[in-house]
Structure 1
Amino acid sequence: IMIDAIKDPKVDGVTCHVAYFDRSIIDRLHKGNWFEDPSDSSISCRQTGPITIGDIDMSERGEEVFKQGLSLIWKKQVVNRIYDKKNETLIYLSHSRQVQNGSAKMSVTTVPLYGQNVVWAKGKPQ
């Protein structure tokens, strides 16, 4: 199991830790699938400093913060950030994206902004 610390490039003060599989050579030999890692992942994001929010996508779909390959060609592990304006919360969603079949395996975490001293580079959304 691998764990990566990922800083949100548009939100200073937030760090996400993503855990995922990196299959061993023995497992690749045993299963016969050389070029693909499992879609399972877990994510936890926390405030790790003063929060300054840059020019983030405010749409319901949010925006991609991080992407890495889980297979030779198709499968990608993706982390998206979505701003929940009603609840003043940043939502981070880790999921696998596969062109052919997709994947329903996902993990979600939140960073509440309510009551925090948050700096908005372009002013707080109304």
Structure 2
Amino acid sequence: MNTIPRLSLSAAALLLAAASLGAPLHAEEIGSVSTVFKMLGPNDKIVVEAFDDPKVPGVTCYLSRAKTGGIKGGVGLAEDTSDAAIACRQVGPIRIDGKLKDGDVVFQKDTSLLFKTLQVVRFHDRKRNVLVYLVYSDRIIEGSPKNSVSAVAIEKNWMP
């Protein structure tokens, strides 16, 4: 009987790993500001992070998100709120190799110990030649309607 739960946990871990293939495992922290002072543990913060689109060289996204502090936040047990904003920019020549799938996950970050994830997905507006990035939070049972969007025009002759 002990092997059944272990197999289920292993299967769940494999599914989670497969779901995050192609998405950056981490973002580079650019900076943060404290929003709420906590007597014990770190303060609540807004964190600004940057990540490059893994399938579109030349695009970097900047993500600001809430990070819960306190004792639970300090040990990784707190659930972060669904508040996030995104701004994506062309930082070099854009090269799209192959076809982009609309709704591809380009970034994921767990925002609670279990079941809540902050995600960035990409869409290609072919009519306007624009890449659209959407950040939102989801949960296995119920997600949040809070979201933010950014668009990057694909310039043919990009100059720094």
Residue 37 of structure 1 pairs with residue 80 of structure 2:
yes
Pairwise CA distance, 1:54: 2.5
Residue 90 of structure 1 pairs with residue 122 of structure 2:
no
Taking only the aligned residue pairs, the percentage that are identical comes to 40
Check the 8 A contact 2:85/2:148 in 1, yes or no: yes
Structure 1 residue ranges (4+ consecutive) displaced by more than 4 angstroms after TM superposition: none
Please give the alpha-carbon distance, in whole angstroms, between the structure 2 residues aligned to 1:106 and 1:81.
Answer: 13
Residue by residue over 1:22-42, the C-alpha shift from the partner in whole angstroms, topping out at 9 and shown as x without a partner, is 1121796xxxxx520000100
Q: Which runs of 5+ in 2 are unaligned?
A: 1-45
Matches within 5 A, 1:1-126: 1-25=46-70, 34-58=77-101, 61-113=102-154, 115-117=155-157
3-state SS in 2 of match to 1:102: coil
Check the 8 A contact 1:83/1:90 in 2, yes or no: yes
* Rg larger in structure: 2
CA RMSD of aligned residues (A): 1.8
Determine which structure has the larger helix proportion and give its number. 2
Q: Which runs of 5+ in 1 are unaligned?
A: 29-33, 119-126
Please give the alpha-carbon distance, in whole angstroms, between the structure 2 residues aligned to 1:56 and 1:24.
Answer: 41
Determine which structure has the larger strand proportion and give its number. 1
